[in-house]
Structure 1
Amino acid sequence: MARNSYRNFLRLLEKWPLDESKKGGRDLGEHLRIRVSEAFRLGDATPTDEVECQRVCASLNRLANNTYATRYPRKLTSTSTGVTIQECHQIASTEFLKAMEDSEKGLLSGMFKQG
């Protein structure tokens, strides 16, 4: 039975995209790949709780297939702040967050030098 769960998770990971802008532990697809490799260290020979594996795999499949996004489509293309989807992706990218962190370090170090 573990063979079926393992294969289901492998099929799921094939559908799950990797977001190149969130490398370094911030990407959900990357996290899922790590968790599956940890959970199935022995491959399909790993003893598993089949009911729990089926529940988790079904939930992740619904997310990967955008089940709820298609069932309940959004009427607006912006958020409550007025930021578009593309802008949200740019703001959440690792490069943008690193740049913000670097600029905050510069601001704080400048404040401490003056005092």
Structure 2
Amino acid sequence: MAAATGCFKRILQVLEKWPIDETKAGRDLGQFLREKVNKAYKTNQFEADIKHWDKQYLSLQKLVNNEYCRRYPRSATSSATGLTREQCQIALSNEFLEEINEEKGSFLRRLFSFKSNEKN
């Protein structure tokens, strides 16, 4: 039990360094990981497979400390889509996705109303 509690605390310390993106409420990776770790601890999954959680801890630590970002620096300032980091953050925000869904809905409504007008 002590090993499981220690592993749980180490993972929580790493996750505290991971910022929560408020623009992605309900879809944020940091928030998802915190919930998954808490659920696993409450259902005693840490005790069942401590080696698995030690590996998870090491992986999270590498991600939080940007180990791969430093090891493999990017030369380009844009992504495969041609967007910059800031533009990608805006495109993935909840507000932008809501706008896209509203536009889709209005487009579909216009399309279906157009087809029903053709039948008349």
TM-score of the aligned structures, taking structure 1 as reference length: 0.91
Structure 2 unaligned residues grouped into runs of 5+: 116-120
> What's 2:50 paired with?
50
Whether 1:61 and 2:61 are equivalent positions in the alignment is yes
> What's 1:37 paired with?
38
Q: Aligned partners of 1:52, 1:94: CA distance in 2, in Å? A: 33
Show structure 1 runs of 4+ deviating over 4 A. none
Q: Aligned partners of 1:80, 1:71: CA distance in 2, in Å? A: 20
Whether 1:81 and 2:88 are equivalent positions in the alignment is no
> What's 1:22 paired with?
24
How big is each residue's C-alpha offset from its partner over 1:15-34, in whole Å with a ceiling of 9 and x where there is no partner?
Answer: 1110111002x100010111
Q: Aligned partners of 1:11, 1:97: CA distance in 2, in Å? A: 32
The AA in structure 2 aligned to 1:52 is H
Q: Aligned partners of 1:90, 1:22: CA distance in 2, in Å? A: 10
Q: Secondary structure at the match of 1:99?
A: helix
Alignment: residue pair count? 112
Aligned-pair Cα RMSD in Å: 1.5
1:42 is displaced (CA, Å) by: 6.7
TM-score of the aligned structures, taking structure 2 as reference length: 0.87
The AA in structure 2 aligned to 1:17 is P
1:3 is displaced (CA, Å) by: 1.7
